[in-house]
């Protein structure tokens, strides 16, 4: 915490105009129209930069970050990326994973991210190595971000063949994983795999984050099955369904039916436009799918829809900046989102999807915010400028001027 008073002079609030933001002990104590600066050392000149809430990354894979130069994906699709990772497992040591993950966390933090959920491969090859690596990064970087670690349990989970992976899922939670997850659509019995993950999350009272329907098959129904399980059981566990690409390939009447169930079940959907636009639809040349869940349709039914960057320069996505503003810009261009809706998907709605109260820039709130050299939220999404000042608990975490 910052024990002394600090005043951020001349920040541009989207709703209040130019303001001075005073913080003390890590809390915002006043927001008033800006006045001329003085020579007091407690003043920091915000230079008229745009004042925004901190950004949120609701779906990352820090254990895979920055592997593009080491692992190829010649086919460019999902299974090609998975095979690439599997072929390189021996070289992905715990030390190497920690180094790359910490680099990614610091890049996210410098871009203004204060909350991250990262999945960690939890397979019979890696066992708990990646979960433990990210838990170490969580501890090392606690002063700059809040990191949630989600155990991404391998498949199969169903039948006799899934016994080892089911045991790993329990072990991951015992080791400290905050969230449990998996990929039901890759299992021989998706419904059984999903039921195991759902029941385990309820038994252990941990959040569930599914890699759901990450394909363009209209027959893939992880999302609807999950909503049905919540409704029939009355579960109150926090649940997010990430990807949900197949829903965008289903008939409109089915989309409405599923969206109504998802809203009733209070399941958050996390769209991942960068990676899914890269991976999905490569086997088609006519009416190529966008590789996106129907974001706007889901919202019309009251579903909380967030958006994440997913992979960062690895076989699943060779590009990416670790910047939620880039994610939001893709929602605008490829998802036909309005500017404010796209920005909410990487701030307020993303926090909600992770079970964390959204940050409100108001008196009495924690002094976590982003100052960016932009004239509006639209301009920030358009330019994604590196010129930013990141404030966490009233302290300037980084400043790129």
Per-domain residue ranges for the chain?
6-53+359-400, 55-353
Gap between the Cα atoms of 354 and 356, Å rounded: 6
What pairs with residue 269 in β-bridges? 241, 305
What pairs with residue 44 in β-bridges? 8
Question: For residue 311, what pLDDT is reported?
Answer: 97
How do the pLDDT tens digits run along the chain, 401 residues long?
445 789 999 999 999 999 999 999 999 999 999 998 777 778 999 999 999 999 999 999 999 999 999 999 999 999 999 999 999 988 999 999 999 999 999 999 999 999 999 999 999 999 999 999 999 999 999 999 999 999 999 999 999 999 999 999 999 999 999 999 999 999 999 999 999 999 999 999 999 999 999 999 999 999 999 999 999 999 999 999 999 999 999 999 999 999 999 999 999 999 999 999 999 999 888 888 889 999 999 999 999 999 999 999 999 999 999 999 999 999 999 999 999 999 999 999 999 999 999 999 999 999 999 999 999 999 999 999 999 999 999 999 999 98
> For residue 170, how many other CB atoms are within 10 A of its CB?
15
* Tokens coding 288: 């190529």
What pairs with residue 366 in β-bridges? 27
Look at residues 180, 179, 178 and name the one whose alpha carbon lies nearest to residue 166.
180
* Tokens coding 262: 């998802």
What would you report as the CA-atom Rg of the chain, rounded to the nearest whole angstrom? 21
Gap between the Cα atoms of 56 and 54, Å rounded: 7
Gap between the Cα atoms of 224 and 304, Å rounded: 15
Question: For residue 2, what pLDDT is reported?
Answer: 43
Question: For residue 3, what pLDDT is reported?
Answer: 54
Question: For residue 283, what pLDDT is reported?
Answer: 85
CA 369 vs. chain centroid, Å, equals 18
CATH class of 55-353: alpha beta
Look at residues 193, 212, 243 and name the one whose alpha carbon lies nearest to residue 58.
243
Gap between the Cα atoms of 260 and 289, Å rounded: 23
Phi and psi torsions of 251, nearest 5°: -55, 155
Phi and psi torsions of 3, nearest 5°: -75, -15
What pairs with residue 391 in β-bridges? 369, 396
Rounded to whole angstroms, the maximal C-alpha distance in the chain is 72
Dihedral angle of Cα 385, 138, 62, 170, to the nearest 10 degrees: -150
Question: For residue 1, what pLDDT is reported?
Answer: 42
Question: For residue 345, what pLDDT is reported?
Answer: 98
CATH class of 6-53+359-400: mainly beta
């Amino acid at each position: 915490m910052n024990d002394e008073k600090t005043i951020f002079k001349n920040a541009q609030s989207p709703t209040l105009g130019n303001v001075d933001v005073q913080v003390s002990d890590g809390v915002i104590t006043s927001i008033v129209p800006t006045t001329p600066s003085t020579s007091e050392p407690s003043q920091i000149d915000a230079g008229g930069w745009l004042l925004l809430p901190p950004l949120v990354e609701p779906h990352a894979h820090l254990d895979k970050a920055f592997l593009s130069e080491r692992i190829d994906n010649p086919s460019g699709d999902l299974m090609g990326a998975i095979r690439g990772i599997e072929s390189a497992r021996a070289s992905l040591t715990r030390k190497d994973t920690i180094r790359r993950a910490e680099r990614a966390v610091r890049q996210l933090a410098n871009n203004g991210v204060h909350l991250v959920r990262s999945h960690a491969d939890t397979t019979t090859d890696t066992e708990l190595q990646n979960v433990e690596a990210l838990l170490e990064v969580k501890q090392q970087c606690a002063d700059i971000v809040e990191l949630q670690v989600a155990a991404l349990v391998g498949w199969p989970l169903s039948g006799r063949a899934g016994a080892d992976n089911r045991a790993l899922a329990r072990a991951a939670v015992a080791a400290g994983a905050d969230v449990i997850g998996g990929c039901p659509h890759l299992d021989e019995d998706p419904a059984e795999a999903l039921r195991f993950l759902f029941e385990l999350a309820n038994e252990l009272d941990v959040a569930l984050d599914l890699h759901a329907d990450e394909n363009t098959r209209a027959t893939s129904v992880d999302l609807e099955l999950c909503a049905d399980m919540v409704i029939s059981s009355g579960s109150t566990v926090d649940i997010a369904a990430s990807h949900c690409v197949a829903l965008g390939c289903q008939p409109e009447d089915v989309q409405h039916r599923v969206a109504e169930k998802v809203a009733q079940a209070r399941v958050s959907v996390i769209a991942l436009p960068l990676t899914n636009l890269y991976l999905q639809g490569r086997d088609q040349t006519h009416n190529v799918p966008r590789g996106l869940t129907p974001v706007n349709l889901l919202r019309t039914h009251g579903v909380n829809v967030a958006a994440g960057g997913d992979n960062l320069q690895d076989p699943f996505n060779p590009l990416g900046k670790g910047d939620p503003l880039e994610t939001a810009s893709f929602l605008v261009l490829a998802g036909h989102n309005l500017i404010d809706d796209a920005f909410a998907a990487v701030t307020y709605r993303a926090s909600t999807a992770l079970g964390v109260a959204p940050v409100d820039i108001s008196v009495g709130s924690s002094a976590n915010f982003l100052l960016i050299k932009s004239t509006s939220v639209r301009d920030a999404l358009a330019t994604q400028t590196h010129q930013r000042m990141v404030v966490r608990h009233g302290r300037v975490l980084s400043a790129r001027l």
